[in-house]
Chain A
Amino acid sequence: MKAKDTLILAIESSCDETAAAVVRNGREVLSNIIYSQIDIHTMYGGVVPEIASRKHIEKIDPVVASALSEAGVTKEDLSAVAVTAGPGLVGSLLVGVAYAKAYAYAAGLPIIGVHHIEGHIAANYIESKELEPPFLCLVVSGGHTELVVVEDYGKFRLIGTTHDDAAGEAFDKVARAIGLGYPGGPKVDKCAKAGGRPDAVVFPRGHVDGNEFDFSFSGLKSAVLNYLNSCAMKQGGPVKDLREKREGDANFNPDALIDPDTGVTVADVAASFQEAVVDVLVTHTVAAAKSLGISKVAMAGGVAANGALRDRMKRDCESEGISLYYPSPLLCTDNAAMIGCAGYYDFLAGKSHGLDLNAVPGLGLGQSI
């Protein structure tokens, strides 16, 4: 390592991934280790916080050790330790925060608490070396749907947010209702691709009065559930039976009929629902960029890995002359490299935290830790 290199060990444990990474000079990822607990939580149909916390404690040592050894560095080479302080599940966050603080303390290194969403946004810097603020970022994940103006490194302005469900949450709920199970985002995406027609059923596009850049997905979710119910009623059975029959079925058939009268299939419902979500996300983002005169748009968060969202955002941004950035799927989901990247810019700005750094489960964007 060159003497002037800044090496950051980053730890992320805000939900159900135990992750650690070593990042050089902010944008070069030397290692990025992710232990995913998804298989365990899938059995329960969603993340169980207590199980997630227990897994984090079991996995954090080997994950951090792998991150250091894969990067070929020791603690003596490090400049700082960065850790996700919030938002997220409190029990999960606490494992990472307590471990990172203790590690940094014993190594005589500064500790930097990082905002999880600022980390997701920073994931764009890793693969797009030319990207610099200002730009507009659409943050879409299981817990977030936000339009953020990134004015500078560490400086954010929220211009739109969801009034009810996050986009990823709507995916999870609809996936469950049509029998796809957890996690909803990738499963709906895959099912829609299996011959689903995005225009088979027209679901409502949620708008919020008063702020044109805000989102609402609960109406859409209800419309899908009502549609499924009405189809089930026509066939004389409650929708619950249809769902339970399919849930966890390895031979899941996307061509299974939801409505025999119109020929609408499970894949059609998935594609039509996805189309409604994507339409709102892309329309709002492009409108915000145009209205603010911003020529660069980025996407971040787990839902930013959705194929339909990427395709449509690309098409609409291209036709408006907007440059679009998004991380590869691995860097869209929770990872520690993005925390190391965000932590690097905090480090450059001289920001660090005390030994009393705490987990902040409800941390708002731009709120100081």
Chain B
Amino acid sequence: MIILALESSGNVASAAVAERNKILAEYTVNIGKTHSQTLLPMIDRVLGDAEMSVNDLDAIAVSRGPGSFTGLRIGSATAKGLAASAGIPILEVPTLEALAVGVGNAGGRLICPVIDARRNEVYTALYEVCGESIEQVGEERAMSMEDLLAELMAGEREVIFTGDALRIHGEKIKSVGQGKFILAPLSARDLRAGCVATVGLSMLESGKAIDGSQHSPVYLRLSSAERERLEQGKPLE
């Protein structure tokens, strides 16, 4: 079982080749270049370093969102093109879950990934480490940081936060939390393709691979034109 994993849902572009029990090669940059220019050369590089070609792959794992609309589509279109050409399936890896996996041992805390969603909101969900696996608690949501923190303060559990939104909200989280909230180490806050591969491999083993044509990113948000239409009480179809 060998997979290629792709992450381009935010500022990071990352690609990894992994087999069962081993990440063979991984490459990550966060340098502000467009994913359109960096992602495919990066794929060529990790496959080359792993001494493989697309034909050796069993599936493509792609970070399926939520995240930057355009970034997600570059990852999805790349994954779809590779999958269609090589005749292999796609694994839709929830971006928030892959981020949570990157935290590792949470010491009994809930894991709360937060991705900057602009418009003063974050994309978020809660995860719980259960033995060797990780379980999502509740829904994936787009919401304001204030509402999220208020909700978590009202709960019993201690929480470890991760994700790129810590660059904006890290200090606030700590000051609101008064010791109840802690931040994941820097190395875990930006999603790397190795984490996408980790989730992807377990999805492959549990038979969750799908045909590439069935895959679309999960945005969690409508386009602004659709939102305005709904606000005017008009239907979308």
Q: A residues within 8 Å of B by Cβ?
A: 43-44, 48, 50-51, 53-54, 56-58, 60-62, 64-65, 75, 90-91, 94-107, 354-359
Residue on B with the closest CB to A106? B85
State in angstroms the CA–CA spacing of A94 and B44 once bound together.
Answer: 19
Contact A91 B70 (CB under 8 A): yes
- A50 touching B85 in the complex, CB below 8 Å, given contacts A57-B217, A94-B74, A99-B78: no
Contact B82 A44 (CB under 8 A): no
Contact A91 B69 (CB under 8 A): yes
Contact with A along B7-40 (1 / 0, CB 8 A): 0000000000000000000000000001011111
State in angstroms the CA–CA spacing of A99 and B78 once bound together.
Answer: 5
Contact B213 A65 (CB under 8 A): yes
Interface residue B143 (Cβ < 8 Å from any Cβ of A): no
Contact B77 A356 (CB under 8 A): no
- Would you list 13 pairs from A and B whose C-beta atoms are within 8 A, ordered by A residue? A44-B225, A50-B223, A91-B69, A91-B70, A91-B73, A97-B77, A98-B74, A102-B85, A103-B85, A105-B85, A106-B55, A354-B41, A355-B40
Contact A95 B34 (CB under 8 A): no
Contact A57 B212 (CB under 8 A): no
Interface residue B86 (Cβ < 8 Å from any Cβ of A): yes
State in angstroms the CA–CA spacing of A289 and B36 once bound together.
Answer: 41
- A61 touching B80 in the complex, CB below 8 Å, given contacts A50-B223, A51-B226, A358-B36: yes
Shortest distance from the beta carbon of B87 to any chain A beta carbon, whole Å? 9
Contact A57 B85 (CB under 8 A): no
Contact A359 B225 (CB under 8 A): no
Q: What residues of B have a CB within 8 angstroms of the CB of A104 in the complex?
A: 81, 85
Residue on A with the closest CB to B217? A57
Interface residue B95 (Cβ < 8 Å from any Cβ of A): no
Contact A60 B223 (CB under 8 A): no
Contact A356 B41 (CB under 8 A): yes
Q: What residues of B have a CB within 8 angstroms of the CB of A358 in the complex?
A: 34, 36-37
Contact B84 A50 (CB under 8 A): no
Contact B213 A61 (CB under 8 A): yes
Q: B residues within 8 Å of A by Cβ?
A: 34, 36-41, 43-44, 54-55, 69-70, 73-74, 76-82, 84-86, 212-213, 216-217, 219, 223-226, 229
Q: What residues of A have a CB within 8 angstroms of the CB of B223 in the complex?
A: 48, 50-51, 54
Residue on A with the closest CB to B74? A98
Shortest distance from the beta carbon of A369 to any chain B beta carbon, whole Å? 12
- A60 touching B44 in the complex, CB below 8 Å, given contacts A54-B223, A65-B84, A358-B34: no
- A50 touching B36 in the complex, CB below 8 Å, given contacts A99-B81, A103-B84, A105-B44: no
Contact B81 A98 (CB under 8 A): yes
Shortest distance from the beta carbon of B106 to any chain A beta carbon, whole Å? 34
Shortest distance from the beta carbon of B83 to any chain A beta carbon, whole Å? 8
State in angstroms the CA–CA spacing of A51 and B212 once bound together.
Answer: 20
State in angstroms the CA–CA spacing of A102 and B43 once bound together.
Answer: 10
Contact B54 A50 (CB under 8 A): no
**Residue in A51, A60, A355 whose beta carbon sits within 8 Å of that of B80 in the complex:** A60
Contact A57 B82 (CB under 8 A): no
Q: What residues of B have a CB within 8 angstroms of the CB of A91 in the complex?
A: 69-70, 73
Contact B81 A103 (CB under 8 A): yes
State in angstroms the CA–CA spacing of A57 and B34 once bound together.
Answer: 18
Contact A51 B225 (CB under 8 A): yes
Contact A58 B80 (CB under 8 A): no
Q: What residues of B have a CB within 8 angstroms of the CB of A58 in the complex?
A: 216
State in angstroms the CA–CA spacing of A96 and B212 once bound together.
Answer: 15
State in angstroms the CA–CA spacing of A344 and B84 once bound together.
Answer: 23
Residue on A with the closest CB to B219? A54
Q: What residues of A have a CB within 8 angstroms of the CB of B78 in the complex?
A: 98-99, 101-102
Shortest distance from the beta carbon of B9 to any chain A beta carbon, whole Å? 14
Q: What residues of B have a CB within 8 angstroms of the CB of A51 in the complex?
A: 223, 225-226
- A53 touching B85 in the complex, CB below 8 Å, given contacts A95-B77, A98-B74: no
**Residue in B38, B73, B80 whose beta carbon sits within 8 Å of that of A94 in the complex:** B73
Contact A101 B81 (CB under 8 A): yes
> In this complex, which of A58, A94, A105 has the most chain B Cβ atoms within 10 angstroms of its Cβ?
A105
Contact A102 B40 (CB under 8 A): yes
State in angstroms the CA–CA spacing of A60 and B83 once bound together.
Answer: 13
Shortest distance from the beta carbon of B208 to any chain A beta carbon, whole Å? 19
Q: What residues of A have a CB within 8 angstroms of the CB of B229 in the complex?
A: 43-44
Contact B212 A106 (CB under 8 A): no
Sort A-B residue pairs by CB-CB distance and give the 4 closest, nearest first: A102-B81, A106-B85, A61-B213, A98-B77
